[in-house]
Amino acid sequence: MQYGYFDNENREYVIDRVDVPVSWTNYIGVKDMCGVLNHTAGGYLFYKTPEYHRITRFRPNGVPMDRPGHYVYLRDDDTGEYWSISWQPVGKPLDQARYECRHGLSYSRYLCDYNDIKAEQTLFIPIEDPVELWDVKLHNSSGRERRLSVFSYCEFSFHHIEMDNKNHQMSLYASGSSFEDGIIQYDLFYEEDGYQFFTSNFTPDGYDCVRDTFLGSYRTETNPLAVERGECSGSTELGGNHCAVLHKKLVLQDGEDARLIFMLGEQGQENGKAMRKKYSDATYVDNCFAELAAFWDDKLSQLQIHTPNEGMNTMLNIWTLYQSEINVMFSRFASFIEVGGRTGLGYRDTAQDAMTVPHSNPQKCRQRIIELLRGLVTQGYGLHLFQPEWFDTQVKKQSFKSPTVVPTPDKNQIVHGLKDTCADDALWLIASIAEYIKETGEFSLLDEVVTYADGGSGTVYEHMTKILDFSTEQVGEHGICKGLRADWNDCLNLGGGESAMVSFLHYWALEYFIELADHIGKTDDALKYGAIAKNVKTVSQEVLWDGKWYARGITSKGRKIGVHSDVEGRVHLESNTWAVLSGVAGNEHGKQCMDSVDEYLYTPYGLMLVAPAYQTPDDDIGFVTRVYRGVKENGAVFSHSNPWAWAAEAKLGRGSRAMKFYDALCPYNQNDKIEIRQSEPYSYCQFIMGKDHTAFGRARHPFMTGSGGWSYFAATRYLLGIRPDFNQLIIDPCIPADWEGFTAVRKWRGATYNITVQNPDGVEKGVKTVSLNGKCLDGIAVPQQPEGSENDVTIIMG
């Protein structure tokens, strides 16, 4: 069953059947202001932080679905009938009206054709200003004059998510609204700079600022009293719940158009006046929208591919990069699931996100790397969840204590001990730094001095050594790295035992560092950490190999898990993929363990995290044994970890197997299975219910998941094999044998490479010849070319 289709020419996903089973979301904004919106304009807006600076209110997990939102109502003033452009919240029957939602890159467009009025509402945020624009276009195709009323509606938040949900004895009486010169001002009295404005490019015929006055008693957004009667009350108040309603009456002749622009922005009346003047010019609005398109043009142009796999083309050229970028821009805590109840940076999440898109967003990746380095303690572990603002030396202080200001705890509260440390967190950062340097050539980053979370400072290079030394020291009695509070799998705690995954990650990080140290001439360090890596590899092989696959870990009581003798939790995805991906597993063991992954964990929707799922609670293993079978970490298809299997199979040279795994998880391939998948087919979701669950195949938690970044990273760098090194661009594909080849355009360090890969012998891996601008080269590396140059690369596999 289909609810929409991919429009690759316009880089949009078009929802032409809007009664989708669950919300299909999108993100607008690329800097400080961000909106999370669904296919019916439900959602919320925030500035910098969804927890402490929420602008519009949202009621998560509510009924009806995902309200309130950023709505525009239309009313026929001759008949009194009214509807909303975005279908909801009025919700006209779909056999009487035609609705469509077009989710694009940092904008969403809602189209409605009802009662001979064609309407369109586009929501986006210009790059240069923190103001959300509602660009509304109307067309009368009725053959007669029409008298219409247009009403805007959004509900203001109390800024702090907790203030929206509790302590109403305070918050209900600490915010106010006013109206002057066509501008609504919203004021939070308990916040020094707590202002928003709402205005438009027209002189309003009416307004309402008090939510309950606009809606009316015992009503909702579905049937607002003011819209029903066709006029507002001019309500403002100090205290209460507030909204932004501007009313405009229009007379449209047959064939006539109208365009109205609403503006929701930061600060108060004075900025509202400036923004009103600026964005009342429709041509300027069009130019801002074009700038946004050019912004994404530039990002997407860094790598474009054309392969025999249309799903891969669509996802990698548009949607997977977009999802990866959204995660780097806004972290993981702004969605309809993570609704701002916690914010800041998750250490492991952010480190991985920053690793995946340095080619399209080097500035933000660099920013995230520095923020993470500042969240590292001198002992070498990262703060699992922290606010970057904690370490800012120049922060504007409010003159009084307020519940909405980001709190800065004391240093002794910021730095947690080992009992709250996740053993994998900081290891991911080694690869992020190395990949950033490989992309940009900015070796000077290594000498930059950065503070530690618990005081003092050191160079970036020194921070890296502390991370590696910490994992070297934190080993258990078997010589495997301790899992501490948890490794990547938060639900697998092992009582603080030993984690195979952390040892494999340690080896992976060591290999990255050794290569870097060698390249910059730090030979002694390369030798020192080379000896450590050799020991990690030897111990891991001796302790963790279980005959056909690798054990997942060892509990604090000395029991191995993820082994043949286990009735539950016999085979785990993380340990086996990382044994190969890290380079610990040799070719023979690598193929054996990945064959076991295919045998035990493969489903048509992707690879499950563990099988058989746990049924018996066992606190020596961890909370995962208390999760329902087939849900999240206990035997679901946990998407984040699936790309590790693609990369592992590519390292083993098995392109057909890698593509089989890729295609199973790929959302594009589930576009006609929405009755099963339910969630959007343009975004990777956190997990898909596993085969032990009654809802097998149902996807949940889109966008804000490491699935996006890792899917992009694994598919482009391992399957397509296009990856930068410190001084060269490597092209080493691993593809299905039946692919005749593929083409790609990759920009790297200012030069453009037009890449053609040919596979005349039907192999899955191996490069026979490389030519650059018609000249044959030795090996598979393409040397760096001058900035601004256009280069043709031909790869013959064999």
User: Which residues lie below 8 Å from residue 193, measured CB to CB, with a gap of 6+?
Assistant: 267
| DSSP secondary structure letters along 530-587 | HHHHHHHHHHHHHHHB-SSSB--EE-TTS-EESSTT-SSS-EEHHHHHHHHHHT-S-H
In what helix (H) or strand (E) does residue 702 lie, and over which residues does it extend? strand 699-702
Phi, psi values for residue 705, rounded to 5°: -155, 150
598, burial (CB in 10 Å: exposed 0-12, middle 13-18, buried 19+)? middle
In the chain, helix, strand, coil percent, each to 5?
30, 30, 40
Residue-wise burial string across 485-507, b where 16 or more C-beta atoms lie within 10 A, e elsewhere: bbbbbbbbbbebbbbbbbbbbbb
User: Which residues lie below 8 Å from residue 392, measured CB to CB, with a gap of 6+?
Assistant: none
> Within 666-706, where are the H helices?
674-677
Q: At what angle do helices 587-601 and 573-582 cross, to 10 degrees?
A: 150
420 is catalytic: no
Give the sign of the dihedral formed by CA 663, CA 667, CA 671, CA 675.
positive
User: Quick one: which of 159, 156, 160 has its CA closest to 209?
Assistant: 156
> What is the distance between the alpha carbons of residues 623 and 611, in angstroms, rounded to a whole number?
16
595, burial (CB in 10 Å: exposed 0-12, middle 13-18, buried 19+)? middle
> What is the distance between the alpha carbons of residues 782 and 204, in angstroms, rounded to a whole number?
62
* 186 contacts 238 by C-beta, under 8 angstroms: no
Q: At what angle do helices 523-544 and 460-473 cross, to 10 degrees?
A: 30
> What is the distance between the alpha carbons of residues 543 and 499, in angstroms, rounded to a whole number?
11
Catalytic residue among 116, 490, 663, 725: 490
Tokens coding 146: 């029409």
| DSSP secondary structure letters along 198-211 | EEESS--SEEEEEH
Phi, psi values for residue 596, rounded to 5°: -65, -40
Phi, psi values for residue 695, rounded to 5°: -100, 35
> What is the distance between the alpha carbons of residues 75 and 225, in angstroms, rounded to a whole number?
12
* 581 contacts 651 by C-beta, under 8 angstroms: yes
**Cα maximum dimension of the chain:** 85
**Count of other CB atoms within 10 angstroms of residue 678:** 20
> What is the distance between the alpha carbons of residues 640 and 704, in angstroms, rounded to a whole number?
11
> What is the distance between the alpha carbons of residues 422 and 483, in angstroms, rounded to a whole number?
7
Give the sign of the dihedral formed by CA 585, CA 586, CA 587, CA 591.
negative
User: Quick one: which of 491, 506, 517, 501 has its CA closest to 381?
Assistant: 506
- 447: helix, strand or coil: helix
**Count of other CB atoms within 10 angstroms of residue 290:** 11
> What is the distance between the alpha carbons of residues 365 and 351, in angstroms, rounded to a whole number?
9
Residues identified as active-site: 490
